[in-house]
Amino acid sequence: MPRGKHRRPRTTPLTRRAVIAGSGTAALALPLLGATTATAAEPATAKVGSVAYTTKKGDTLYGIADRYDSQGGWKQLHKDNRKAIGDNPRLIHPGTDLKVRATKKVSTPSKTASKAAAPAKKSSVAQATQSSVKTFPDNLDGWIRNALDIMGQNGIPGSYEGIHRNIMRESSGNPLAINNWDSNAVAGTPSKGLLQVIDPTFAAYHVPGTVYDPYDPVANIVAACNYAADRYGSIDNVNGPY
**E strand or H helix at 223:** helix 217-232
pLDDT score at 49: 77
Phi, psi of 210 (to 5 degrees): -95, 160
Render the burial of 169-204: b for 16+ CB within 10 Å, e for the rest. bbbebbbebbbeebebeeeebbbbbbbbbbeebbeb
pLDDT score at 215: 96
pLDDT score at 116: 46
Sign of CA dihedral 95, 173, 241, 144: negative
Of the chain, the end-to-end C-alpha distance in Å amounts to: 16
pLDDT score at 6: 53
- For each successive 10 residues of the chain (242 residues), what is the average pLDDT? 47 38 38 37 52 87 86 89 88 89 67 46 49 82 96 96 97 95 93 96 96 96 97 94 84
